[in-house]
Amino acid sequence: MSNYDAIIIGAGHNGLTTAAYLAKAGKKVLVLERRVAIGGSAATEEIFPGFKFATVAHLASGFAGEVSADLDLKKHGLELLPIDPLLFAPQLNGAPLAIWHDAAKAVEAISRHSKSDASKYPAFCARLKTIAGFLRTIYGLALPDKANPGEFNPMELLKVGLKFHGLGDKEGYEFLRILPMSIADLLHEWFENDLLKASLAASSMLGSFVGPRQQGTAFNLLHHQIGASNGALRSAGLVRGGIGNLTAALARAAEQQGAVIRTGAEVAQVVTKQSAASAVVLANGEEIAAGCVISSADVKRTFLKLVEPTYLDPHFLLQVQNIRARGTVAKINLALDALPKFKQQESPSQLGGIVYIGPTLDYLERAADDAKYGRYSKQPFMEITMPSVSDPSLAPAGKHVMSVWMQSAPYHLRESNWNDQRDALGDTVVNLIDDYAPGFKNSILHRQVLTPLDLEQTYNLTGGHPDHAEMALDQIFFMRPVPGWSRYRTPIDHLYLCGSGTHPGGGVTGLPGYYAAKHVLKDLKQKKS
């Protein structure tokens, strides 16, 4: 039985971030990963010979710059590629919308659809960038926590208050007004063109069970703009060599500081003695002791599968059970013989960023309605990337990879099951893309379909939810993962959380792992003294 200062469950981007910071602080760290490869849902896998896919998450636009700098990830091989155009939104009938990184080109492109919208677009981006920047400031605030109620420092709140005051009356008012709004209402205030409004609303739906008319969806849009963005659209996030190079860089940073990473090591149980986590037991029966255990697995899996429930208060368990983590997305990975040619597409370079299929707010709302009633949408919203356009190393010469997030596909199907519907779902996606890009089906060499059930079974995402829990106003800030437990500690001493189900939430940001490491190091320091 070895002894470590910390054992981290899961080698996804948050678990590896925590590991790297703890190891950098001189702690003896062991990372245990169930799969044979690291990365979790931020992995690059060669599913078909010669074709490398971001099998689940395909963008790292929100990854925290301070984490990258602190751990010198560039030295360890991380290179983020710009997204350009920021989006390409085709239509069945009519000209597509391509918004480029260059502001003047973006305004010119929008003016082809609406001169009024083009004139307002720069101001809209500037406002959202300011508001998203303040949201990022709030994310860094140490929130009140019932585990250590006396630890909350009012001075931190005062600092945030001063920054809020620095926004000015108008922007401060707009922050408070916009956060709980529906994205549809917000966009109606600014724009008239349906395609532009739907394209800007799209990221507010990602991983969500609701449509753009639901109150609070404006927050989800802002959350997806906290990294590299122009305020309204993500502007970076493709990783050279695939998103797995991000987690590989984190792993190298952790190992350089002495952390040990074991793959093929599934944790079956967190051992608790005298109300404190003291060890883990692997699926093969091996027991490994540690001063603390940090789980990057989702909250439900951690407390309902790995921990003996008798050690937890029934009310806390009920809160965990009530976390909304209903998966509503499927992932389709396609190996292509050639790039698609969308209707009225001007050049292949227009496919170098993010492609959205979802031409109107009504279209997006109906797709969400399908999931709400237990069926997958036959007219789904899709977020598509073809990273081989900017990074040819991901596919054989002249070939391409396509990554598709399809929404809405509920984890629970009312009248069938995912084992029976997997191929039908894949056909729906392929046929719809073919409608927008005639002849597309003929270019497909290989296809992988990951249903919400597959995301759960293969990547241990309870309910198939990539964010571990829905990003909604009642499941963020001090209410994430559950009210009163926002500082990564748990009711079991020496057991911590660091996954996307904790504050500040989902996406490939590294922030949950970063903030969790800070709290763990603080506790270890106090314990030592």
Distance of CA 302 to the CA centre of its chain: 19
Q: Is the pLDDT of residue 149 over 60?
A: no
Torsion of CA 179, 407, 242, 222, to 10 degrees: -10
Please say whether the dihedral angle defined by the alpha carbons of residues 111, 115, 117 and 123, taken in this order, is positive or negative.
positive
Residue type, 211: G
pLDDT score recorded for residue 230: 85
**Which H or E run contains 299?**
helix 299-301
Q: How far apart are CA 312 and CA 56, in angstroms?
A: 32
Preceding amide of 85 cis, omega within 30: yes
pLDDT per residue over 447-479, tens digit each?
999 999 999 999 999 999 999 999 999 999 989
Task: Give the side-chain half-sphere CA count within 13 A for 490.
Answer: 33
Given this model, what pLDDT does residue 309 score? 87
Give pLDDT, residue 237: 87
**Residue 201: alpha-carbon gap to chain centroid:** 17
- Of the candidates 425, 376, 340, 335, which has an alpha carbon nearest to the alpha carbon of residue 53? 335
Considering only CA atoms, which of 61, 510, 479 is closest in space to residue 296?
510
Work out the average pLDDT over 395-403. 98
Alpha carbons 354 and 99: distance in angstroms, whole number: 10
Spatial separation of the C-alpha atoms in residues 244 and 249, rounded to whole Å: 9
Tokens of 346: 């001007």
pLDDT of residue 169: 78
Q: Is the pLDDT of residue 102 over 70?
A: yes
CATH topology for the 3-41+61-79+242-324+461-528 domain: FAD/NAD(P)-binding domain (3.50.50)
- What is the DSSP-derived secondary structure letter of residue 277? E
| pLDDT above 70: percentage of residues in the chain | 95
Which amino acid would we find at residue 38? I
Mean pLDDT of the region 395-412: 97
What SS3 state is found at 485? Answer: coil
Mean pLDDT across the chain? 93
Q: Average of pLDDT values for 72-97?
A: 95
Q: Give the containing element (helix H, strand E) for 502.
A: none
The 10 Å CB-count burial string (b at 16+, else e) for 57-78 is: bbbbbbbbeebbeebebeebeb
Largest CA distance in the chain: 69
Look at residue 442 in the predicted model and tell me its pLDDT: 97
Model confidence band, residue 162 (pLDDT cutoffs 50, 70, 90): low
Residues 6+ apart with CB under 8 A from 423: 449
**Closest by alpha carbon to 452, among 346, 329, 362?**
329
| Tokens describing residue 331 | 């992932």
Asked whether the beta carbons of 29 and 8 are under 8 A apart, the reply is yes
Q: What gap in Å lies between CA 260 and CA 130, rounded to an integer?
A: 40
| Structure token pair of residue 220 | 């989800």
Pairwise CA distance, residues 42 & 403, whole Å: 13
Return the domain boundaries, the chain.
3-41+61-79+242-324+461-528, 80-239+325-459
CA 377, 382, 388, 389 dihedral sign is positive
Count of other CB atoms within 10 angstroms of residue 189: 11
Phi, psi of 169 (to 5 degrees): -60, -45
Q: How far apart are CA 223 and CA 221, in angstroms?
A: 5
Give pLDDT, residue 171.
84
Q: What pLDDT, on a 0 to 100 scale, did the predictor assign at position 151?
A: 59
Tell me which residue of 252, 250, 257, 287 sits closest to 270, measured CA to CA: 287
Sign of CA dihedral 162, 167, 173, 176: negative
**Tokens 């013989």 label which residue?**
337
Query: CA 342, 345, 349: angle at the middle one, nearest 5?
Result: 105
Structure tokens belonging to residue 394: 């991901």
pLDDT, position 167? 76
pLDDT of residue 227: 81
Segment 298-311, tens digit of pLDDT:
999 999 999 998 88
Task: Report residue 232's pLDDT band, with 50, 70 and 90 as the boundaries.
Answer: confident
pLDDT at 217 over 70: yes
Torsion-angle region of residue 488: left (phi > 0), alpha (psi -120 to 50) or beta?
left
Residue 142 predicted with pLDDT over 80: no
Please tell me whether residue 503 adopts helix, strand or coil conformation.
coil
| C-alpha distance from residue 233 to each of 237, 257, 268 (Å) | 11, 36, 41
